[in-house]
Amino acid sequence: MDKKDLNGNENLENNGTTEEELNTSEIINEEVEVAQVAAEEPVNTTKADSIPVMNKVGANNATPPPTAPRSNKAWMIASIVLAAALIIVLVVQKDDSKKAVATVNGTKITKEQLYDKLIEAGGESTLQSMITTELVDQEAKKANVTVTDEDINTELEDLKAQFGGEAAFNAALSQSSMTVDDLKKQMPLQVKLRKILEPQVTVTDDEIKEYYDTNKATFSEEEQVRASHILVETKEEADAILKQLKEGADFATLAKEKSSDTGSKDNGGDLDFFKRGDMVAEFSDVAFKLKVGETSDAVKSDYGYHIIKVTDHKDAKDYTLEEKKDEIRKTLVSQKVSTLSSTWMSETTEKAKITNTLTDAKEDAAATAEPTASAAAGNESTK
């Protein structure tokens, strides 16, 4: 059971749709921006077939599950697949473009037709992504920038922290139809860009203090408890379980066997740490009164009867500027790198010699059509 929602599938909020075409700056900014968006927006997870005991007070459990913070990672994976398909078709097209890749009632669908459809479906944006990656790779080589496994792991840990933890991070991946390995394939581009641009970024102590003062409320941590629970339908079931616990039965084992909360039962009923407002009132009121190691009597809520065991506790805490200084510096550096990356990418692209057969022809056609249109307009004005 997730502390925010116990409904099986873990999804996140999506504040924007996947864009079919990304310009050069957007492709570069995407990985940098996603962590910042995640840090700004709380992440909810939902489980469709279990009980939303941990929903915030007043939440409407009948509403559709929320989706993820703005992220084009799913598009990026689709682009990789599409790019691979395009390369395969390009390789074979020269010699056997008329060869059938499929037939429908005897009518052929050729490799050439497949290639054309792949181009229509996203060839331009896929090729642009490949051009961008090559540009960054070249600039990284000039700057002697390399990417190690440690760099990738550090980047992953930073993302997990900014998403709010392992569960929310995994939910974001699930929403984007990605695995950790998929994400790792995308990260070298982000790491290279950060390493290239970070030396150009300066963050002062005054900026850090201003950020701390502006966001001081976010540097306070509410009291939290960690608890496990067993959820059943009736008081009689709860009382029977309590009797077994008093006789020495293991709480986690009974949770796996008897709890109806599919979100937590496999973890022995563990709900991880939660704040008071993360739970329905009946649950929180009891959990926050228990001492570590204590187990409650049967607690009734709209979802049934809970037996709650508190396993850990964190006091409320207000963090000082000194305690958060390194974290704030890292955040400000990321923000400045994100802002700088757009300009840097545009300038780098302008300096590079790039040919793109998918877009150059269109630009040439537009340039040819423009004088013709101007001449026609001139003729009209002289009539």
Q: Which of 288, 315, 342 is where one domain is finished?
A: 315
Residues 222-254: pLDDT tens digits?
Answer: 999 999 999 999 999 999 999 999 999 999 999
* CATH number for the domain harbouring residue 254: 3.10.50.40
Name the domain count of the chain.
Answer: 2
φ and ψ at 344, to 5 degrees? -60, -45
Which residues fall within 8 angstroms of residue 254, CB to CB, at 6 or more apart?
230, 241, 244, 245
Query: Based on the domain organization, do 252 and 303 belong to the same domain?
Result: yes
Query: Based on the domain organization, do 286 and 332 belong to the same domain?
Result: no
- Residue 203 domain boundaries: 24-213+324-351
Q: What pLDDT does 239 receive?
A: 96
Q: What pLDDT does 178 receive?
A: 87
In a domain, 14, yes or no: no
Q: Read off the amino acid at residue 80.
A: I
Query: Based on the domain organization, do 92 and 185 belong to the same domain?
Result: yes
In a domain, 305, yes or no: yes
Q: Read off the amino acid at residue 372.
A: T
Low-confidence ranges of the chain (pLDDT < 70): 1-95, 361, 363-383
Q: What pLDDT does 381 receive?
A: 57
Q: What pLDDT does 1 receive?
A: 47
Q: What pLDDT does 160 receive?
A: 85
Q: What pLDDT does 11 receive?
A: 36
In a domain, 368, yes or no: no
Query: Based on the domain organization, do 48 and 147 belong to the same domain?
Result: yes
Query: Based on the domain organization, do 205 and 267 belong to the same domain?
Result: no
Beta pairing partners, 224: 275, 314
